[in-house]
Structure 1
């Protein structure tokens, strides 16, 4: 198998892309403001072989919890941010090693630039995460329904916002419940850029069906040399 050649970035101590090993990522399902419970879960995941952990940051209480989590976590921590740029800034201040956010969804240029400048200072990568279930209305109208082309176009919209600010410390994911759609989207994106790709099937299903769908989807992409980080996402 020949791996797709990508640029390399670092999530804390973990190299992603280039010739680095494929990193395994997971996500906590505790409340991030409960630092003790979140750290206990992170430790169990790290013991099982997880390389990177992602924590939801829905409010400032969660961002506050990150201060302790980032200090004590045995593996790098990524903050999952939606819509509020202040949460991204607070997460960076708390010491996270990466952000998952879509710059087109957190406000105007000034807000995005504030996050980008803070991320640049700390050398923190940003993952663009596009999901078939939440595509922009204009793209759904253009393509009629979620398609691989729509997912890729949505991702490029976010990527270009960051590139216009001279920021290229970027990972990309394009996820769907549907395995063939996910495969097609990643193949298209892989042919168009050299950014590292985070692969998985979103909310693939319950344990048995979800593991099968994830194994087929992730396994197929890895067999084609596509994918630099992976995460299994069950419903």
Structure 2
């Protein structure tokens, strides 16, 4: 029996597709993606931005391909990227074909927007020939005219109908390697549309609140909307759409998944909001610590609490903890370990975290090597 059943999230059952080397849907981890904002035609600038996105931990990255210059640069970008590339295509079917030929792992299109049935067939053929999946991207701001006339305004029913119409165009061409999004900037509209689509099909869903705003407002808005969906088990891959550095989108995405216990990457810092009881500058310390340990990918938890009211209790639940006092108490694995002075806090905790991360990763590497060695004789016998 689960000790904490109230934490259980039962993910919606979806079929699984492949985006390059990354699995999406089914029992695969929820993936985090973002989008470049450099001109795709500038391959060097785009590759440099993708490097930073990779370092932040993104699983997938999307690039716009609005013109021939962009698809011409795509081949070099794909070769340089360590993570799968999704080519963003809006209207021109030839750009989709060129992107598939250039090595894109996925095409983001709306089949109904790229022209005749013959053109849809040509795009699907290119996707099949070059091993691309397709993402159908429905947006409340660009719904088809006939649906707006039918429903009068963007609404969940119109968005779901649009998605299902696009799905049928692909299915009629015997294509099923598809993921779908039904995004809106209105939280209630987006959530209702995703809920309706989740009931209507079993395709993996790309979840996001589009045009959410700047870093602070967009993070809050996205967390509310996407959090409701993820908590209810809806979502196989996510993008947090912010008017900010794409790296921030990745960071917020992982924080969202960590908060819900859906995926862990890096250090989770639990810290108090600070008050007059604090015995050190909590806000400054936490800010510096988060920057100092941003490079660590190993999942761990650290509590930084300004006083002894809640500090010991939080420390019991974390890998490392610090509670403010005359001499600050440091906890290891929930147990008091040693005392510490003010000036050492950030570097001292960061050093402990780094050493623990190195130990964990070394143990994982040794375990993997042992498993490979044990499997070698069996493979040789075969």
Q: Which range, TM-score by smaller chain?
A: over 0.9
In 1: Cα distance, 2:117 partner to 2:83 partner = 32
Equivalence for 1:216: 224
Q: Does 1:2 align with 2:10?
A: yes
Q: Does 1:76 align with 2:88?
A: no
Unaligned runs of 5+ in 1: none
Q: Deviations over 1:102-122 (max 9, x none)?
A: 111111111111110111122
Q: How much does 1:144 deviate?
A: 1.6
Q: Deviations over 1:79-120 (max 9, x none)?
A: 000111110111011111000001111111111111101111
2:225 is paired with a residue of what secondary structure? Answer: helix
In 1: Cα distance, 2:146 partner to 2:22 partner = 37
1:18 is paired with a residue of what secondary structure? Answer: coil
What is the TM-score normalised by the length of structure 1? 0.98
Q: Does 1:185 align with 2:193?
A: yes
In 1: Cα distance, 2:59 partner to 2:77 partner = 15
- When structure 1 is superposed on structure 2, of 210-219 and 138-147 the one drifting more is 138-147
Q: Does 1:195 align with 2:203?
A: yes
In 1: Cα distance, 2:213 partner to 2:13 partner = 31
In 2: Cα distance, 1:135 partner to 1:89 partner = 24
Q: Does 1:110 align with 2:131?
A: no
Q: Deviations over 1:134-178 (max 9, x none)?
A: 111221122121110010011111111111111111100000010
Equivalence for 1:231: 239
Q: Does 1:87 align with 2:68?
A: no
In 1: Cα distance, 2:99 partner to 2:219 partner = 31
In 2: Cα distance, 1:104 partner to 1:219 partner = 30
Cα RMSD (Å) of the superposition?
0.8
Which of these two proteins has the greater Rg computed from alpha carbons? Answer: 2
Q: Deviations over 1:5-58 (max 9, x none)?
A: 111011111100000000001000000011110011111011011110000001
How many pairs are equivalent?
235
Q: How much does 1:211 deviate?
A: 0.8
Unaligned runs of 5+ in 2: 1-8, 244-382
The residue correspondences of 1:46-57 to structure 2 (distance < 5 A) are 46-57=54-65
Which portions of structure 1, spanning 4 or more consecutive aligned residues, are displaced by more than 4 angstroms?
Answer: none
Work out which structure has the larger RCO, using CA pairs closer than 8 Å and 6 or more positions apart in sequence: 1
- When structure 1 is superposed on structure 2, of 79-88 and 117-126 the one drifting more is 117-126
Q: Does 1:42 align with 2:50?
A: yes
In 2: Cα distance, 1:179 partner to 1:165 partner = 33
